[in-house]
Structure 1
Amino acid sequence: MSNVPMTVSGEAALRKELDQLKKVDRPRITQAIAEAREHGDLKENAEYHAAREQQSFNEGRIMEIESKLSNAQVIDVTKIPYSGKVIFGTTVDLINVESEATVTYRIVGDDEADVKQNLISVSSPIARALIGKEEGDVVVVKAPGGDVEYEIDRVQHI
Structure 2
Amino acid sequence: MPRDHRPAKSVRVLLAEDPDLPSGALAILLGLEPDIEVVAQVGRGDEVTRTALGVRPDVALLDIELAGLSGLDAAAELRDEVPDCRVLLLATFGRPGYLRRAMAAGAAGFLVKDGPVEELARAIRLVLTGETVIDPAFAAASPDEGPVAEAAP
**Same fold by TM-score greater than 0.5:** no
Flag the structure with more relative contact order, 1 or 2, with Cα contacts below 8 A and sequence separation at least 6: 1
Q: Structure 1 length normalisation: TM-score?
A: 0.26
Considering fraction of residues, name the structure with more helix: 1
Q: Structure 2 length normalisation: TM-score?
A: 0.26
